[in-house]
């Protein structure tokens, strides 16, 4: 893929990620805090929000790895309910949440 095409597709992809976060946000947050899900679960479990984040993030990376294992030549060509792009979108969203957790402590 040429650099210009990569940049264009990446910009569109990041817009999709932000849109996903906005749509799903109300399902996971208790108030106006996008990190409330990590914090409340951490409090309930007696662990840190970072540890909660790591469990959620690992779920997403494991699903991507499993799709690659199922079809190493074309991981998007699977019989899975969710396509690879959707799983990548979720994983990147969770990296943004990790960054927000870190930034919040500054």
Span 3-18, pLDDT tens digits: 999 999 999 999 999 9
DSSP code at position 99: H
pTM of the predicted structure, to 2 decimals: 0.86
pLDDT of residue 78: 66
> Phi and psi of 78, rounded to 5°?
-130, 170
Question: Mean pLDDT across the stretch 37-61?
Answer: 96
**Torsion angle in degrees (nearest 10) through CA of 78, 79, 84, 85:** 120
CB 83 within 8 A of CB 67: no
Rounded to 10 degrees, the C-alpha dihedral 43/90/57/32 comes to: -20
Please report the pLDDT score of residue 28 as a whole number: 66
């Amino acid at each position: 893929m040429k650099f210009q095409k990569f940049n264009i597709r990446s910009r569109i992809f990041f817009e999709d990620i932000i849109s996903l976060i906005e749509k799903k946000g109300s399902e996971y947050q208790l108030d106006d805090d996008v990190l409330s899900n990590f914090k409340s679960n951490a409090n309930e479990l007696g662990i840190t929000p970072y540890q909660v984040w790591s469990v959620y993030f690992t779920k997403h990376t494991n699903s991507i790895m499993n799709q690659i294992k199922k079809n190493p030549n074309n991981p998007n060509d699977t019989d899975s309910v969710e396509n690879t792009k959707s799983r990548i979108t979720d994983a990147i969203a969770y990296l943004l949440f990790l960054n927000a957790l870190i930034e919040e402590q500054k």
